[in-house]
Structure formats: C-alpha cells, structure tokens
Chains A and B, each alone.
Chain A
Amino acid sequence: MTFLIEAYAFFYQFADAFAFLVLCGLGLAIIFGMMGVINLAHGEFIMCGAYITVLTARAGVPLPFAMLAGTAAAGVVGLIVELLIIRRLYHRLFDSIVATWALSLIATQGMLIVAGPSIEGLKTPFGSFELGEYSFSVYRALLPLIALLLLAGLYWLFVHTRFGIHSRATIEDADMARALGASTRRIYSQTFTLGAALAGLTGALYAPTITAVPTMGQAFIVQSFVTVVVSGADVMLGLAPSAAVLAFIQSLLTKSYGQLIGQIGLLLTVIVVVRVLPKGISGWVLQRNGRR
C-alpha cells in the first residue's frame, strides 16, 4: 500500500509538471509554429491573465467567469499587440524577438508600478485529499485533465474548423494559401490572439495556486520555451510528448535533488535536444514518416 501511495505521489508530481508545461507551452507553440514569431512577451500574457482573474474574482465574480475574463483580456491585448507591432515584423525574426522582449520589460515594470510588488491571492478551490502521509490538492490534480482537454479542443479546432484548415494551409505554404483566397493576414492576427488568450488562460488557471507578482512571467517563460523547443513546430504532434518527457525528467530530479536541480535538468535537456533533434520531437516524427 505504501508503495502504491509513493507511486501515486510521484505520478501526481509528474502530472502536475506535465500540466504546467503543456499549459505554458501551448500559446507560445501556436504562435511559433504558425507564424515563426518567437513571442518573448509570452510570460507577460500569462501574468495578464492571472492578474485579471485575481482582480475580477476578488471583486466578487465567480471564479470560472473570472478565469474567462482573464483569458479574454490577454486575448484582446494580444490582438492589439499584433495589430500595432507584430504585423510590421513578420519577416524579421530577430526584430520580432527584440520587440517582444521590449514589450515584456514594459509590461513587467508597468505592472509593478500600477499594482505594486504583489497582490493578495485567491484561495485554491476544492480543498485537498489525503493518502497516507501525503496531502494532495484536488484542484492541482484536475489541472492535467484540463490540459488534456485543451489539447483535444485545439486538435478539433485545427482539424474541423474553417480557421483550422486555413491556418494549416498557411503554415504549409503561405503564398499558395493567399492565392487560393485565404486571408493570411487575418489568420496571423487570429493566431496571435489565440496564442495570447491561451497564455492568459494558463495564467487564469494558475492564479488560484500562486501569488501573482509582476515578474511571474519570467518563471513561466523559461518552462514554456523549454517545452516548445523540445516539441518542435508542430504543436499537435509534439507538445504532449515533449511535456511528458520533460515532466518526467523534472519530477525525477526534483524528487531526488530539489527544485533548482530540476530546473537545471530541464535546461540541460533543451541544450541536448537542440543539438540532437533540432526540429524537436515533431520534426523527428515527421522526418521518420518521410513527410519532409
């Protein structure tokens, strides 16, 4: 019995890390995979989602609606950023990296000035359950399921909707898609908005479990990057396996040597993956199947 509990404790930790990596990586991966833009302000979209969620929930809005508000807010900000900035930098990779980095600095410091070093958090809903000597949070145990549901929802979005078909055509060959009447500009706008909204959702989902601080984006963005790099450009194919592998490495190292070593393990994994599989897991799968 103790063995089973130990095993579940490890699985819980693994699933928790998995959910975190998937949720962090989603928004970034979609923007990177679709537009080739590396959004260094990704962490700040997450922060935006978390802040709006906390603020609206504390104003008395029920938590699920507060989370939706956080998601929507990040999406709207994303749309504005796309229209004003990203749109001008499509074929200038370095410049888009630098510009989003600038945005991230402005957002972090701006939030610090507006809202102070931290705001009062929310209570984690649903309480906890106990197994043996361990105590687990129900809410955190649910997050992996939400992550999987979200992946399924995105799969549906990209395979079964008009937006999905147009956007996949745009990835495959943007000029051809345009020639066939798909408005690539609009698709890019929608994609960036979607990516930002997903980042906002991540912030919203984690808002009840953490203290929102202006610099929280930095904690998220490293994890996000790691997941996306290991995943490669094809989100649907690579993200879940990538998050699973990384979560396993991280939870194993964290369990034995502590959190910082777990973090270092992730970063070292990325360095090795970039060298061995430059196109990530999805690139490797596609290559094996002879598609590219």
Chain B
Amino acid sequence: MRRLLTLLDGPQTLGGGPLFWAAFAAIVVAAALIPQFVNAFAVSNLTYFLLWVFMALGLSLIWGYAGILSFGQTAFFGLAGYTYGVISVNVGDAGLWTWFAFVVALAMPAVLAAVLGYFMFYGGVRDVFVGIVTLSVTLVFETFMAQTAGPEWTIGEARLNGFNGMSNMPPLTLPWGDGALIFDGPAFFWLVLALVVVAYVGLRILVNSRFGNVLVAIRENADRAEMLGYNVRMYQLAVFVIGSVLAGMSGALYTLWGSYITPSSMGLTAAALPIIWVAAGGRKDLTATLVATVFLTWLSQQLAVRGNQYALIWMGAILLTVVLFAPQGLFVSLWKTAHSKLRRHRRPATAKTVPSLPG
C-alpha cells in the first residue's frame, strides 16, 4: 500500500506533494457537497461533465503516454452503452441485475479491444494506420447500428431502433432494506465522482509505475524499447485494453445518465470530441486531460444552452490555437509557465552552479 502511494507522484505526472493533494481533496469534497446547494438540473449537468472524463483519461493513456493515436474510442463507448441497454432492458432492475449489465457493459469493450488490439499490434499495424483502423471500426459500428431500424433487429425484448437509438433503460439499482437504492440524481453524481477519483488516482499510480515508464519509453522510441528487451506489443495491447474499458465506462455511464444511446454517439463528430479534449488539455498528462475535459464539456454546453451555434467553432478554434501555439497542450503549458515563474520568484538570481565533473 505504502509503495503504491509513493507512485502517486512521479516523473510521468505533473503536480504532486502535500499541497497538490490537499487541494485535490478539497476540490473533491467541495464537488461532493455541491448537490446540497444546487437544483436537480445542475446536478445532472455536473454528472454529464464528469462522465466523459473516463474516455478522455483512457485516450490520454493510449495516445499521450503510449503514443498510439486511436481515433475510435467512441466504438468502445457505444459498445458499452448498447450492451448496458440491451441487457438491462431484458433483465430489468430487480436484485443486482443492473449491476450485472453494467459489468458486462465494461467487459465487452475489453474483449473487443483485446481482439482488435491483437489484430493490430501483433499484426504490425503501426502509427497512423492504427488511427485508420480504429476509426473504421467505430464507423462500421455506427453504420451498422443506424440500419437496425426494422423490427427484426431485436435482442430479447430490446429493440435496437436504428438511427433513433435505444431508450428507457433502468438506472443502476441496489436492493436496500425493504426498498431499493436507485442511482439517479445526487446518488448517481456521487457514484460518478467516486469513479472519477478512483480512475484518476489509479491511472496516476499506473503511469508512474514501471509499466508507465515502459509505456513512455515505447512512445519515445518503440524500436529502442524493443531492443532493450521489452515486449512492446504486449504493452501496447494492455494499454489499449485499459483505455478502451475506460471509454466503455463513459459509454455505460452516459447511457445511464440520459437513459438513451444512439448510433451518432459513435460518428465522426463524436469521435473527434475526446481527441479535442485530450489534445487541448495536454495529452501527456492525466491532470491536464481531466481539467480540460470538464472545462471543455462545460464550455460547449454553456455555448449550446445559450442558443449559440458557435460551440463547435469555438472547439475547433481552441484546438487549432493550442496545436499551433501550445503544442504540449493548454493546461500543461500554463502549468509549466506558472511553475517556472514561481521558482524564479522564490530564488531571484541564484542560478545553481552546476558542479563540474572531476577529470
């Protein structure tokens, strides 16, 4: 346990130390208290901003840390969403069955990612071709689901409903005494918040561990990592599966949140969004990704709510500006600038002299 905690901070993540974690704890506590003060609509919105974080963190892991650009994380998102829909509609909300549906919804992306990852990484598919294959997969999935409008596309009691998508899935339900604890409203928000904390902390430990260091080595130079004796393909496969399960987590939670899922959640525009969040925030850092995802989903919703058609234009403009002027990502650049300013401020003009090597 101790050893795991020391891995919270490390070379692969920005921020750390007592101050950082105190602030983190304060933010989480503050977030957990929010439902006491705001109405149900605002809670639902907050849940919405948070539920995308998993897919973004997963992409940050796959793309930022391991250097594999997957364009098709939404395939796993949709697969998990539809899986939850189909199973939960069939088994209902009695007992622990909704949780069963939830777990299977996470297992399906893992299986798909394992098969697809094996096909790609062990088949020598590299670089941008991984992006093409993953994008193709998500588009195949979208197209397939879009043509399931007819009544013959029914699994048990669940109609897939083509382009209009599925709806009316039961929320997660836990038997509690005589009644049942239904995860909607604040309870669902707390659940999502807890999962975000677990995912974030868990991924920080993962990327600062030996596994994470190897990932970064592979990102920097896959051939060199292979020469040094690491099984590059196995690491790539593993990281792809982890990231895809996280995308599936977002998908299942999204389906639970709105009680619906449509094929367009896997289309081109949908597939672009996680890339935007991760690239804009700073793909090589989990914290930056998390902050950027919540901020950008909030921003685009604010723009959309005000009847503003410019939401996507703003997203595009932000992304373009970041790529051109802050290629490491907005929040990573801000963090580094602030950090170096602070340091200079604390120790004015006492540049450490580097001791010269003897000899």
- Residues of A at under 8 Å CB distance from B? 38, 85, 88-89, 92-95, 97-99, 101-106, 108-110, 112-113, 218, 221-222, 225-226, 229, 258, 260-261, 263-264, 267-268, 270-271, 274-275, 278
Contacts and interface: CB of A to CB of B under 8 A. Distances in A.
B272 A105 contact: yes
B116 to A, nearest CB: 9
A268 to B, nearest CB: 6
A275 to B, nearest CB: 5
Interface string B48-61: 00000000000000
14 contacts: A105-B269, A109-B309, A109-B312, A110-B313, A112-B309, A113-B309, A113-B313, A222-B139, A229-B129, A229-B132, A263-B143, A274-B133, A275-B123, A278-B129
Contacts of B269: 105, 218
Contacts of A218: 267-269
Contacts of B276: 98, 101-102
A98 B279 contact: yes
Contact of A101 (B120, B128, B275): B275
Nearest to B134: A271
B128 A105 contact: no
B320 interface: yes
B128 A88 contact: no
B324 interface: yes
A44 B133 CA distance: 22
B143 A85 contact: no
Contacts of A94: 63, 69
Contact of B137 (A110, A113, A271): A271
Contact of B324 (A99, A222, A225, A258): A99
B296 to A, nearest CB: 13
Complex A-B, nearest 4 residue pairs according to Cβ-Cβ distance, in ascending order: A105-B316, A106-B316, A102-B319, A109-B312
B315 interface: yes
Given A92-B327, A270-B136, A102 B320 contact: yes
Given A97-B69, A97-B131, A271-B137, A85 B320 contact: yes
Given A98-B275, A101-B275, A264 B143 contact: yes
Contacts, number: 112
B124 interface: yes
A264 B323 contact: no
Residue with the highest number of chain A CB atoms closer than 10 Å, among B119, B272, B313: B313
B140 A103 contact: no
A103 B316 CA distance: 6
A264 B69 CA distance: 22
Contact of B312 (A85, A108, A263): A108
A278 B125 contact: yes
Interface in B318-343: 319-320, 323-324, 327
A32 B63 CA distance: 22
B319 A260 contact: no
B300 to A, nearest CB: 11
A9 B181 CA distance: 62
A117 to B, nearest CB: 11
Interface in B250-274: 267-269, 272
A113 B269 CA distance: 17
B140 to A, nearest CB: 5
A120 B272 CA distance: 29
B45 interface: no
Contact of A261 (B63, B147, B268, B309): B147
Nearest to B268: A218
Q: Find the residue from B129, B132, B133, B323 having the highest chain A CB count within 10 A.
A: B323
A218 B135 CA distance: 13
B323 A267 contact: no
B205 to A, nearest CB: 27
Nearest to A112: B309
Contact of B319 (A38, A99, A270): A99
Given A101-B276, A267-B136, A271-B133, 18 more contacts: A92-B327, A98-B276, A99-B324, A103-B320, A112-B309, A113-B309, A113-B313, A218-B269, A260-B143, A264-B144, A267-B137, A267-B143, A270-B132, A270-B133, A271-B136, A274-B125, A275-B124, A275-B125
